[in-house]
Amino acid sequence: MAEYMIIILGAVLVNNFVLVRFLGICPFLGVSKKLDSAVGMSLAVIFVMVLATAATYPVQMLLNRAGVGYLQTLAFILIIASLVQLVEIALKKYLPGLHKSLGVYLPLITTNCAVLGVCILNIDEGFTYLQAIVNALGAGIGFLLAMVLFSGVRQRIEENDYPAAFKGVPSTLIAASIVSMAFMGFAGVIDGIFGR
């Protein structure tokens, strides 16, 4: 059980895909203006990450057996695109308000490098099937944490008065870098907690 806690905490805090690995920046910057859309996007990403990992892991094993493991990226992108279409159809039918607020960013999950990155990293790190799914869940929770934190930061920034030269993209990028630096403090946490 401790092994899975290490994987989850590592993916959420130490190796956060957005704030440490810098994967998935497009939705991070684009959808984080409002808390509800940030949470909605994050939940969709968590769902896609876990399902994509569950589907791509066995596909990678089949590709390796067939001697065509180099087709990994192509196969993974096709699987992720199919899953995103399912999520989009479900959101459009059951949560039309969220579907409308996510707009163009929902189909961008298909090309979200954090989703593809977690699928490939699970293979590269040599995780077992269950460890890979736990890592994908942790990566998704880390994505959610980053989105919620940054959404709060952006709302606080917009409520304040600051020089016009920093309004818009400059203030967003400065805030993103500060939030990212804050996550550097978690680098030794897991080693200290679990005595590794």
Return the domain boundaries, the chain. 41-144
Answer with the residue of higher pLDDT: 30 or 55.
Answer: 55
Flag whether pLDDT at 112 surpasses 80.
no
| pLDDT the model gives residue 30 | 77
pLDDT tops 80 at residue 85: yes
Q: Residue 27 and residue 112: Cα distance in Å, rounded?
A: 8
* HEC profile of 91-154: HHHHCHHHHHHHHHHCHHHHHCHHHHHHHHHHHHCCCCHHHHHHHHHHHHHHHHHHHHHHHHHH
Q: What mean pLDDT is predicted for residues 67-83?
A: 91
Percent of the chain at pLDDT exceeding 70 = 94
